[in-house]
Amino acid sequence: MRGSLFQGEGMLSTGVQAPEFEIQLHTGELFRLSDLRGKHHLALFFYPKDFTYGCTKEVCNFRNHFAELSALGAVVIGVSRDPLESHASFASKHALPFSLASDPDLHLAQLYEAVGLGGLWLKRITYVIDKDGVIRGVLHHEILVDAHWQRTIDLLKTLNGPTT
């Protein structure tokens, strides 16, 4: 992925072990990356804010392609600074089949180098993490929100190998 439109400077690199984390989801569950080990891939996407035009479009793209993402063995989690209450309302309004995580203090965003402008906002970054906890894709583009879901699916297909 290095050198592609989506790999940005100042982000974690592909091929490295994803930093372990634990975070509260809007569903009330506590998510740990280690719980997926050996079971599922993870599409972890950071977005700036619930209920904004670009973020709603990005989240709904993941929603619209959730069945395919799931069929490829991926768990999908969206992360923003918004409180869990906002996430619950946002998820309900848009019928999201995946969870949203609240990162108000930007601890996870800093760990995944997804903080922009001195901590004022989150970068629009999607990390594709394989079943072994290795980062296999880093997708970053602030404007082309439609590209994240498609590139995520392409990477997951590659991770799953050729189909027969």
Which residues participate in catalysis according to the annotation? 55
Pairing outcome for strands 41-46 and 125-129: antiparallel
Residue 22 CB: number of other CB atoms within 10 A?
Answer: 11
Considering Cα of 52, then 58, then 62, then 63, what sign does the dihedral take?
positive
Pairing outcome for strands 22-24 and 30-32: antiparallel
Q: Report the C-alpha gap between 163 and 3 in whole angstroms.
A: 28
- Give every CB contact of residue 30 below 8 A, 6+ residues apart in sequence: 22, 23, 24
